[in-house]
Structure 1
Amino acid sequence: MNQTTFSVLAIIGGVFLAAQGALNSTLSVLLKNPLLASVIAFLTSTIFAIIFVLLSTKSLPNASDLKQIPIYLWFSGGLFSVLGISLYYYTIPKLGISTMISFGLFGQLTFSIIAGHFGWLNLPLEPVTFKRILGFFVMMFGIILINVK
């Protein structure tokens, strides 16, 4: 696949994340519990992921491959997911979806620029450049415009 295809897929992924946030925040309000909505979302996500793995995977990792995975990788992503998603479900009904997503995007952009620059979490190095800083500030200006009432 080429860069354009990956970019389109990333955009579609963003649409799916915003839509699931909207749907599951409504579930959170109706259940009166964002953590319960997260449990339901992750449970159904697990079911769908298992189905997709069964349909698309030719072979599963063997025991020696599994032993080489650091312990923290088995739970840290899930912990951050449930915290982040639950915060989405909690704040979307209070802030509105565009405000919440734009603030969430601010957090993602800020962390990704810093983490990419330093190669944190085994990420490829992406040095901070003038163009990246300019892009960051243009995005921040857009977020401010989205949120000005």
Structure 2
Amino acid sequence: MSTLQWTGLLLLAAVAGAVVPFQSAINTNLARGLGHPLWATLASLLVSVLVLLPVIAALRLPLPSLAFIGKAPLWMWAGGAFGVCFVALAVMLVPKLGASGFVALALAGQVLASMVLDHFGLFGLMQKHLTFPRAFGAAFLIAGVVLIQFGETATKSPVPAG
């Protein structure tokens, strides 16, 4: 893989991370308007489907194999449940932790869980053993989370109406 391709992948990963606080903040306001975080979760996921279907059509992707759908193990379908969990918890926790606190804690959880997945090569991932530098990096991340969440006192600004 060329340096340019690698740089492009790194930038795309950063963009994927950058949209999370925007999604969480927007969905928090949607929850206020709809009356409950789970209604905002449902609305967010429905919009996801409405955005994704035209993209799939524009790319002219072939339909998935019905044979695979019928024989795929149940754990392969858990991604949707994890997505609901993430969106719903974000909507519930961002008002209490702030966007930076939520994202920092979510990122810490993602990194720690990812290290377990990599170490054991779970779900067909390439095995990447836990080493001292990786554990040290995780410790720094946890220290960063503590500083982000507890480093200063929060002040709440008014949310614009409507």
CA distance in 1, matches of 2:7, 2:43: 34
| 1:115–1:58 Cα change, 3 Å | closer
CA distance in 2, matches of 1:69, 1:57: 24
Displacement of 1:128 in angstroms is 0.7
* 1:22 matched to 2:15: no
TM-score, with structure 2 as normaliser = 0.83
Structure 1 ranges of 4+ moved more than 4 A: none
CA distance in 1, matches of 2:14, 2:115: 19
Question: Which of 144, 147, 150 does residue 145 from structure 1 map onto?
Answer: 147
Deviations for 1:42-65, whole angstroms, at most 9, x for unmatched residues? 001011111111111342223334
* 1:4 matched to 2:2: no
Q: What SS does structure 1 have at the residue aligned with 2:128?
A: coil
* Mean CA deviation greater in 117-126 or 19-28: 117-126
Count of aligned pairs between the two proteins: 148
Asked if the contact 1:34/1:86 (under 8 Å) is kept, the reply is yes
Displacement of 1:78 in angstroms is 1.0
TM-score, with structure 1 as normaliser = 0.90
Deviations for 1:91-128, whole angstroms, at most 9, x for unmatched residues? 10111110111111111111111111112222221111
| 1:129 matched residue in structure 2 | 131
Displacement of 1:10 in angstroms is 0.4
| 2:106 matched residue in structure 1 | 104
Asked if the contact 1:26/1:93 (under 8 Å) is kept, the reply is no
| 1:118 matched residue in structure 2 | 120
| 1:45 matched residue in structure 2 | 48
Residue type at the aligned position of 1:78 = G
CA distance in 2, matches of 1:42, 1:48: 10
Displacement of 1:68 in angstroms is 4.0
Alignment of 1:28-107 (within 5 A): 28-74=31-77, 76-107=78-109
CA distance in 2, matches of 1:5, 1:146: 28
CA distance in 1, matches of 2:132, 2:75: 35
Percent of pairs with identical residues: 30
CA distance in 1, matches of 2:97, 2:128: 32
